[in-house]
Amino acid sequence: MTAWFTPRLIPGIVRRESAASFSHRILPFTSRRRSAIMPAMADAKNEIQSLRDQIDEHDRRYHDFARPIISDREYDRLIDRLKQLETNHPELAAPDSPTQRVGGKPIEGFVHVTHAQPMLSIDNTYNENELREFDGRVARGLEGEPYTYVVDPKIDGVAISLRYEKSLLVFAATRGDGKVGDDVTHTIRTVKPIPLRLRGSDVPDVVEIRGEIYWPRDAFDAYNRKRESAGQPVFANPRNATTGTLKQLDASKVAGRGLSFIAHGFGQVSPVKWKSFSALLGAFKNWGVPIGEIAIAETIDEVIARVTDWDGKRHDLPYETDGMVIKVDSLHHREVLGETSKYPRWCIAYKFAAEQAESKIKRVDFQVGKSGTITPRAVLDPVQLSGTTVSHASLHNFDQVDRLDVRIGDTVIVQKAGEIIPQVVRVVTKDSPGRGERIVPPTKCPVCEGAVGKDEGGVYVRCVNPMCPAQLKERLIHFCGRNQMDIEILGEVVVEKLVDKGWLTSYADIYTLPEQRDELAEMYFEYERENAGEIKKVSVRYGEKRADKLVEGVEKSKRRPLSRVLAALNIRHVGGSSAELLAEHFGTMKKLSEASEEALQEVDGVGPEMAKSVRVFFDSEAGRSTWEALREAGVNMKQPTRASGGDGLLAGKTIVVTGTLERLGRKEIESIIKELGGKTTGSVSKKTDFVVAGDKAGSKLDKANKLSVEVIDETTFLKRIGRD
């Protein structure tokens, strides 16, 4: 019946651009073929509406109650009829139609989305005392005001942010690093419990609903059984499989997997009409968004009772959970409590005790990290642990191996605490006779076969060859990372292949890549498309667009401030913030390279260990040639000064940021301005050079207009600083 029609969805690839334009990314079907049974326009409109309502209702029944009232076949018939009508009346197609869940053509790659408000992680506690301490901090922070908590299970899924504008789902993004995530709108659209349009008249203009995408146990098992009977490998871990599923480029493969969603938070909401989180959750529910089983607790004792209760029944839940989340309910209280640089102060997770399992060590292999550390890893007989199949466990370092007295063939207890890789905690067969071989540190690097050395006083064995491919790959990936030189187009897969081909033997080689642009465009790279259980390799041509982006990215990276270059060099003990301290203090790479240990320690925040490590780098032949090669390649070696006269694009400029921005968070834009040599102030005056105004800018905008201070929008700002 549907053989003739060809729904054509435009692939969901979009440039990094404002949210508003996302809503039009999926265009109506384009087939114009008429069928004899097609009703006239007005009738079609009615029928389409009726079909959409029916299908939505069936979706809801299916997911809320798991009790469909029609057969799959009947359901498919409704969908087919709707598709047919929409095909013939493209003007009646809508982005929130259930037909849009089916999934279109595969997209070409992922686009990054900046969260309007960062998705912070949550601090963890592991026992009752820590919960009481948290409660003490909340009580002090609120200075005697009464407060209540919302308690709900912590679902072990994939955190996602759904942005609705004027009730329509405009995009969905993964958490990413909290500030910038991947756009997964194309796959999220196929997750039926997520409404494409929020129902109700009280939906704010903009609402970001945050929650967890998870694979319900039943659906996961059923999907695995299907794979098994088709002779395909099964997925091991529902959460990893969910991540893999969301990152499918081809959304049509996601539609049948039965992923689900539960809301547990929010990002930007404007206007905000709710005083408490529980009230907002109630609104979510009315709008058709699934919410979890929550409880309100008046006291910490009630919280603890609730947590204990759930610990007992967590295995009966339809999803995996490793703890509970406790949040202050009042939105006003949340504001008062604020957040640390990492965590909100009004929220904490309570982790259930780690689960343990017994297994046997088959052998031990050695892994080499980016700083050359060689770590032992136990290869185990596969064992089930917290819902996942575990076949490797960390042994951390060789001191730990000695302390535990682990030997090959031993039966050991492995444990998984939260997100961490499972670890060996104890040997069961210590006293049994005829135990296996001891585990000794390797005498040469398992990757480059070069010499190894033990850290002075440290516990790590390290490959000391700076040219070691294992280190080189990791180092190059770090160098190109978002917080370093930010050449993201040069991802892991590309770096690895180019190292293997011998194109990249040092950081400076990155700057010769533009010369090899054409050859690169023709190259094919193997990507892994699914990370759980089944690993499928896809060969992708690099292509003209990526090659151009790479050239652009490499060129742009030459202008990064010294602090980023330093962070990129991966000098031991020098992370992002210490790199900034050093760069601000010394101003140029040359001055820094000449600074004595004493001079280095004069910098606030630089201790003897870091000072020594910096000297070791600049005194070594490898270190010196590394930074000099970068300088010769044209990489900037100066830190823009904050005051006037610096190299920064915004040097000496005083800028006011006001209103809600689409792409940059407030902290993000402020740090960009600072990085480029400008400064931000809170009020507009004659000294203000310009104002960056977002949505709902208000009084500052009026003042700027009164004083004839230049006002620009976010896009113009980004263009001006060359980031658009």
Nearer to Zn ion, 447 or 565 (CB): 447
Q: Which of 154, 179, 192, 327 is catalytic?
A: 154
Q: Secondary structure of 333-355 in the HEC alphabet?
A: HHHHHCECCCCECCEEEEECCCE
Contact stretch for Zn ion (CB under 5 A) within 53-61, 88-96, 254-262, 466-474: 466-474
**Min CB(470)–Zn ion separation in Å:** 6
**Min CB(472)–Zn ion separation in Å:** 9
Distance, in Å, from the CA atom of 655 to the CA atom of 647, rounded to the nearest integer, reads 17
**Min CB(487)–Zn ion separation in Å:** 24
Distance, in Å, from the CA atom of 680 to the CA atom of 540, rounded to the nearest integer, reads 44
Nearer to Zn ion, 495 or 600 (CB): 495
Contact stretch for Zn ion (CB under 5 A) within 91-99, 333-341, 468-476, 636-644: 468-476
Determine whether 157 is exposed, middle or buried from the number of CB atoms within 10 Å of its CB (0-12, 13-18, 19+): buried
Site for Zn ion in 336-355 (CB under 5 A): none
Among positive and negative, which fits the CA dihedral 477, 480, 486, 489?
negative
**Min CB(368)–Zn ion separation in Å:** 6
Amino acid letter, residue 566 = L
Per the CB < 8 A criterion, the answer to whether 86 and 99 are in contact is: yes
The binder of Zn ion chosen from 173, 191, 445, 669 (CB under 5 A):
445
Give the three-class secondary structure for 458. coil
Instruction: Kindly calculate the radius of gyration of the chain based on its CA atoms and give it in whole angstroms.
Output: 28
- The DSSP result for 667-685, as a single string, is HHHHHHHHHTT-EE-SS--
Angle between helices 41-65 and 72-88 (to 10 degrees): 150
Contact stretch for Zn ion (CB under 5 A) within 226-234, 446-454, 554-562, 710-718: 446-454
Burial call 334-358: b when 16+ CB within 10 Å, e when fewer? bebbeeeeeebbbbbbbbbebeebe
Distance, in Å, from the CA atom of 548 to the CA atom of 518, rounded to the nearest integer, reads 9
**Min CB(372)–Zn ion separation in Å:** 7
Nearer to Zn ion, 161 or 465 (CB): 465
The residue among 648, 589, 646, 587 whose CA lies nearest residue 614 is: 589
Distance, in Å, from the CA atom of 474 to the CA atom of 470, rounded to the nearest integer, reads 7
Is residue 468 part of the contact set for Zn ion (CB under 5 A)? Answer: yes
Contact stretch for Zn ion (CB under 5 A) within 294-302, 312-320, 445-453, 670-678: 445-453
**Min CB(462)–Zn ion separation in Å:** 9
Examine the residue annotation and report whether 154 is marked as an active-site residue of this protein. Answer: yes
Distance, in Å, from the CA atom of 113 to the CA atom of 322, rounded to the nearest integer, reads 28
Strands 124-125, 347-351: pairing kind: parallel
Contact stretch for Zn ion (CB under 5 A) within 153-161, 239-247, 467-475, 639-647: 467-475
**Min CB(186)–Zn ion separation in Å:** 41
Is residue 447 part of the contact set for Zn ion (CB under 5 A)? Answer: yes
Contact stretch for Zn ion (CB under 5 A) within 443-451, 546-554, 564-572, 612-620: 443-451
Which positions ≥6 away from 721 have C-beta within 8 Å? 649, 650, 672, 676
Nearer to Zn ion, 365 or 381 (CB): 365
Distance, in Å, from the CA atom of 186 to the CA atom of 253, rounded to the nearest integer, reads 11
Nearer to Zn ion, 109 or 450 (CB): 450
**Min CB(474)–Zn ion separation in Å:** 11
**Min CB(528)–Zn ion separation in Å:** 24
Is residue 448 part of the contact set for Zn ion (CB under 5 A)? Answer: yes
Is residue 709 part of the contact set for Zn ion (CB under 5 A)? Answer: no
**Min CB(613)–Zn ion separation in Å:** 20
Nearer to Zn ion, 440 or 451 (CB): 451
Nearer to Zn ion, 452 or 480 (CB): 452
Is residue 463 part of the contact set for Zn ion (CB under 5 A)? Answer: yes
**Min CB(374)–Zn ion separation in Å:** 8
Distance, in Å, from the CA atom of 433 to the CA atom of 435, rounded to the nearest integer, reads 6
CA distances for 130 relative to 125, 339, 626, 675, angstroms: 6, 18, 47, 38
Nearer to Zn ion, 39 or 450 (CB): 450
Q: Kindly state the number of chain residues that form the binding site for Zn ion, as judged by CB under 5 A.
A: 7
Helix/strand number for the chain, H first, E second = 23, 24
Determine whether 64 is exposed, middle or buried from the number of CB atoms within 10 Å of its CB (0-12, 13-18, 19+): exposed
**Min CB(27)–Zn ion separation in Å:** 52
Distance, in Å, from the CA atom of 374 to the CA atom of 473, rounded to the nearest integer, reads 15
The residue among 382, 354, 357, 373 whose CA lies nearest residue 464 is: 373
- Cis preceding-peptide flag for 376 (omega within 30 of 0): no
Distance, in Å, from the CA atom of 89 to the CA atom of 585, rounded to the nearest integer, reads 66
Is residue 547 part of the contact set for Zn ion (CB under 5 A)? Answer: no
**Min CB(598)–Zn ion separation in Å:** 34
Q: What is the DSSP letter of 638?
A: B
Nearer to Zn ion, 11 or 446 (CB): 446
| Residue 169 burial (CB count, 10 A) | 23
Contact stretch for Zn ion (CB under 5 A) within 154-162, 336-344, 449-457, 702-710: 449-457
Is residue 499 part of the contact set for Zn ion (CB under 5 A)? Answer: no
Nearer to Zn ion, 185 or 471 (CB): 471
Nearer to Zn ion, 470 or 554 (CB): 470
Is residue 551 part of the contact set for Zn ion (CB under 5 A)? Answer: no
Contact flags string 396-435 toward Zn ion, x per CB under 5 A: ----------------------------------------
Site for Zn ion in 170-199 (CB under 5 A): none
Q: Take residue 9 and report the two structure tokens written for it.
A: 């969805």
Nearer to Zn ion, 366 or 542 (CB): 366
SS3 content of the chain, % helix, strand, coil (to 5): 35, 20, 40
Contact stretch for Zn ion (CB under 5 A) within 20-28, 400-408, 424-432, 460-468: 460-468
Nearer to Zn ion, 326 or 445 (CB): 445
Per the CB < 8 A criterion, the answer to whether 112 and 336 are in contact is: no
Which positions ≥6 away from 472 have C-beta within 8 Å? 499, 504, 505, 506
Contact stretch for Zn ion (CB under 5 A) within 84-92, 298-306, 447-455, 575-583: 447-455
Distance, in Å, from the CA atom of 223 to the CA atom of 470, rounded to the nearest integer, reads 37
Distance, in Å, from the CA atom of 491 to the CA atom of 487, rounded to the nearest integer, reads 8
Active site residues: 154
Instruction: Kindly list the residues in this chain that would bind Zn ion in the complex (CB under 5 A).
Output: 445, 447-448, 450, 463, 465, 468
